[in-house]
């Protein structure tokens, strides 16, 4: 029998234990990959070259405060500003509170010049711009609710004391987020009684190099007013919004650490039982000439193989599952996408490899250091 065959025979000796060990590792690493993917989606918002040209102007105190409409004309006159668009969160309810998706009132004619990476049929765009009660919707939200162009929908106001009745005139694809709904800010203003309230201003600049100076000029222009501003890049704005969830990074990392620690304990316990049952065999191998390093290699190869089998099953399984299910629909719009990246897969497999090595070191060392006589007596 070859050495490789001997290791394989040992691993398959107790098939039930082997199967339970592999499945426990696989399930734990599936959960670990899921948590790391969720953490990535929550803390690393997608970006693009177009996003590098956008900055956001909001109220300095919080996103819950609004800005005056008159700020727009002053911002538009600043050097380096190509477009300045009003964008206000509506946050209405479509039929049921569980049907969450983002909705915004915007300057219709400026929407696609600002978010230039999004694509829409020119005829649909023209119809949207010309009709005050029209809206455009991202492809994913259209598919989620089974909508089609021409459908009429009603969004019941929660943040704002008005309901909007809209007609879908266009569907956009591409861009960072295909879940949004956009409608005319003019329509929103009319429903609100022309109060001139704006949630945020989204700017597209002519060149990224003008952003630092432009940020400073905007905030300086509105300093010591009743509505001071905070101007930041799109990415900084997204990360600030995510931070409102609390220290979710610490929470997920803490859970991941517990998973890894528990895995080590479970696998180490399994290997301890396995090695203790083979104390006599190990003693015989030592008696016929196997030294400590050879025995450690045999034991570690078995432990490493079991851990990697579970790791491959859990990590690759997670990648296959999340590649073929609609996480956006299952999470009711909370996760726009859920991509298991190669980096996360490699991290999961490295954890499995580390698990296979660490879990067998202590029990293997104890068994190898025992004398041949004590080992032969162990199961007599």
Per-residue pLDDT tens for 39-69?
887 776 656 677 788 999 999 988 888 999 9
- Give the number of residues written for the chain: 380
The pairing of strands 118-120 and 164-174 is: antiparallel
pLDDT tens-digit profile of 112-133?
999 988 999 999 999 999 999 9
Query: Among 47-51, 136-140, 368-372, whose mean pLDDT is lowest?
Result: 368-372
Residue 326: count other Cβ atoms within 10 Å of its Cβ: 12
Cα–Cα distance measured from residue 170 to residue 149, given in angstroms and rounded to the nearest whole number: 6
Residues 6+ apart with CB under 8 A from 62: none
Torsion angles phi and psi, residue 194, rounded to 5: 55, 50
Residue 218 clears pLDDT 90, i.e. is over it: yes
**Quick one: which of 309, 313, 311, 307 has its CA closest to 360?**
307
pLDDT tier at 260 (50, 70, 90 boundaries)? Answer: confident
Say what the pLDDT of residue 184 is: 97
Q: Residue 233 gets which letter from DSSP? A: E
Cα–Cα distance measured from residue 118 to residue 137, given in angstroms and rounded to the nearest whole number: 11
Say what the pLDDT of residue 164 is: 95
Residues 6+ apart with CB under 8 A from 224: none
Higher pLDDT, 144 or 371: 144
Say what the pLDDT of residue 106 is: 96
Residue 279: count other Cβ atoms within 10 Å of its Cβ: 18
Whole-model pTM over 0.85: no
Cα–Cα distance measured from residue 162 to residue 188, given in angstroms and rounded to the nearest whole number: 9
User: Average pLDDT in the 236-249 region?
Assistant: 67
Please compute, for residue 201, the number of CA atoms within 13 A of its CA located in the half-sphere on the CB side.
Answer: 28
Torsion angles phi and psi, residue 58, rounded to 5: -135, 175
Residue 379 clears pLDDT 50, i.e. is over it: no
């Amino acid at each position: 029998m070859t050495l490789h065959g001997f290791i394989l025979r040992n691993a398959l000796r107790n098939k039930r234990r082997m199967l339970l060990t592999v499945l426990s590792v696989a399930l734990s690493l599936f959960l670990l990959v899921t948590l790391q993917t969720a953490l990535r989606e929550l803390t690393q918002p997608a970006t693009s070259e177009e996003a590098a040209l956008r900055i956001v102007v909001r109220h300095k105190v919080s996103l819950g405060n609004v800005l005056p409409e008159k700020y727009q004309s002053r911002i538009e006159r600043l050097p380096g500003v190509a477009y300045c668009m009003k964008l206000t969160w509506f946050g209405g309810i479509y039929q049921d509170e569980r049907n969450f998706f983002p909705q915004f009132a915007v300057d219709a004619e400026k929407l696609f010049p600002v978010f230039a990476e999004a694509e829409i049929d020119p005829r649909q765009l023209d119809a949207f711009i010309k009709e005050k009660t029209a809206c455009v919707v991202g492809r994913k939200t259209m598919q989620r609710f089974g909508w089609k162009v021409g459908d009429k929908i009603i969004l019941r106001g929660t943040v704002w004391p008005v309901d909007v009745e809209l007609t879908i005139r266009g569907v956009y694809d591409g861009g960072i987020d295909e879940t949004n709904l956009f409608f005319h800010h003019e329509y929103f203003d009319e429903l609100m009684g022309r109060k001139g309230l704006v949630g945020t201003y989204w700017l597209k600049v002519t060149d990224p190099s003008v952003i630092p100076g432009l940020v400073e000029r905007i905030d300086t222009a509105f300093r010591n007013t009743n509505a001071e501003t905070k101007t930041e890049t799109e990415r900084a704005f997204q990360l600030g919004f995510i931070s409102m969830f609390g220290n979710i990074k610490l929470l997920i990392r803490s859970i991941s650490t517990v998973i890894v620690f528990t895995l080590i304990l479970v696998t180490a316990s399994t290997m301890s039982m396995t090695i203790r049952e083979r104390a006599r065999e190990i003693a015989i191998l030592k008696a016929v000439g196997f030294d400590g390093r050879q025995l450690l290699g045999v034991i570690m190869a078995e432990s490493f193989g079991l851990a990697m089998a579970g790791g491959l099953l859990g990590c690759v399984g997670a990648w296959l599952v999340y590649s073929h299910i609609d996480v956006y629909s299952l999470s009711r719009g909370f996760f726009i996408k859920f991509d298991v990246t190669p980096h996360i897969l490699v991290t999961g497999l490295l954890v499995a490899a580390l698990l296979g090595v660490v879990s067998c070191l202590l029990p293997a060392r104890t068994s190898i250091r025992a004398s041949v006589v004590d080992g032969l007596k162990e199961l007599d």
